[in-house]
Structure 1
Amino acid sequence: MITKAHLLKCSITKFTQLGSKHVTLDELASSLGISKKTIYTFFKNKEELVTASVEGLLNEYREDIHSIVVSNDNDPILSVMLIYQKGFEYLKYFKPSFLFGLEKYYPKASKIFDEFVDELSYKTVYKLLKKAQESGNIKDEINLELIVKIYFFRIDNLVFKKNNLFEIYPEEELFKHLVVYNLKGIVTNNYSNFFLE
């Protein structure tokens, strides 16, 4: 018998790689070797399944973020870099149609994703950068709220423009240009970490 956790894991894999709108419950059931009726024992409809899948994926990333912050408590700038490096690992498996499909067809799941992006940008990343600025590792004149809005809010929108940047550039190059080089420009001369060397 299939578990709800296994169904969610398979669903998020299919949804992120093919787009949630393009994966039918019949196809999902077939790939799992179950009936569509079995899916309905866990979820009342596809939107509920998509929403739960997105929540599961984001909770997994939240755990990664928490672990990164705890492990690098004395270096908030490194924490920001590692958070986005991990985020790029997640995003590289997404087809742009997955995020666009959420916005268009699954408003509850889209809202959860948007709230996560806000939380990540304006709470986690902003607080880490503020801590770095207070400890003298980011220049005093830097407007951190503006930095977050320009460079760290909705990186997914930048990456998944008409030409998917993951299809054009290697993940490491994107990470350096979108995260490392931008942070390098705002840190003080006395700060360094292995990304900046």
Structure 2
Amino acid sequence: MRDKILEKSTEMFLNLGFKSVTMDDIAAALGVSKKTIYNHFSNKTDLVQEVTSTVFEFICTGIDFIHEQQQNPIKELYEVKRFIMHYLKDEKSSPQYQLQKYYPEIFSSLKHKQFEFMQECIQENLIRGIKQGLFRKEIDTDFTARLYFNGMLGIKNPELFPLQQFSMNDLMNYYLEYHLRGIATVKGIQELEKQLKEK
């Protein structure tokens, strides 16, 4: 039952937002009493914590799997984007921003874990891209990876990028192209154009 609660809660939180979904909503969707949920999770904050940890671990595992394929670094970034968008269902409710606003301690802990994971992944991607002649050799990989992470957080702020005006998929596509055009060589731009045609 615990796994079913986590699965349904994840689906509802990602689709409707962490604030909007109540424990009553989750119980009704599962066809169980609220007491059943409280037998497994002490309160909504505990449930949100478990959901965010589960989502984070799942996404990290997926990104690691894509990384193991050792595709060229530009294609790899697009594969990661497609995987995340498919799993997060285009983030229509801006779940990360709601998490930041209503569960700041959980958000802060998650952001720290995301940064450590992404910093390593993106730096490795950049170093590989430089070796393959896709990215300019003079870029500072640590700085660029930090900038990339910060930008990814920034585009998820609905006050800056209202979801009525921009879909999350479009935002990620725009940002990825912006990032890559800033660091790519002529060879890298050719690969980027190929990816843009394929999408």
Sort the TM-score into its range (normalised by shorter chain). 0.7 to 0.9
Instruction: Measure how far apart 1:44 and its partner are.
Output: 1.4
Give the fraction of aligned pairs with identical amino acids, expressed as a percent: 24
Q: Report Cα offsets for 1:65-104 as digits up to 9, x if no partner.
A: 1121112x142232123223333442623412x3233223
User: When the two structures are superposed, what TM-score results if normalisation uses the length of structure 2?
Assistant: 0.81
* Residue segments in structure 2 that go unaligned for 5+ positions in a row: none
| Partner Cα distance (1:169, 1:20) in 2 | 20
Residue matched to 2:129? 132
Instruction: Measure how far apart 1:59 and its partner are.
Output: 1.7
Residue matched to 1:195? 195
Residue matched to 2:114? 117
User: When the two structures are superposed, what TM-score results if normalisation uses the length of structure 1?
Assistant: 0.82
Match of 2:140 among 134, 143, 147: 143
Match of 2:25 among 24, 27, 35: 27
What is the Cα-based RMSD across aligned positions, in Å? 2.5
| Partner Cα distance (2:115, 2:146) in 1 | 10
> Relative to 1, partners in 2 of residues 1:68 and 1:148: Cα closer, same or farther, differing over 3 Å?
same
| Partner Cα distance (1:15, 1:151) in 2 | 26
**Aligned length in residues:** 193
Higher alpha-carbon deviation: 149-158 or 136-145: 149-158
* Residue segments in structure 1 that go unaligned for 5+ positions in a row: none
Instruction: Measure how far apart 1:118 and its partner are.
Output: 0.2
Instruction: Measure how far apart 1:124 and its partner are.
Output: 0.9
Q: Report Cα offsets for 1:89-125 as digits up to 9, x if no partner.
A: 42623412x3233223324431342024303431111
> Relative to 1, partners in 2 of residues 1:68 and 1:31: Cα closer, same or farther, differing over 3 Å?
same
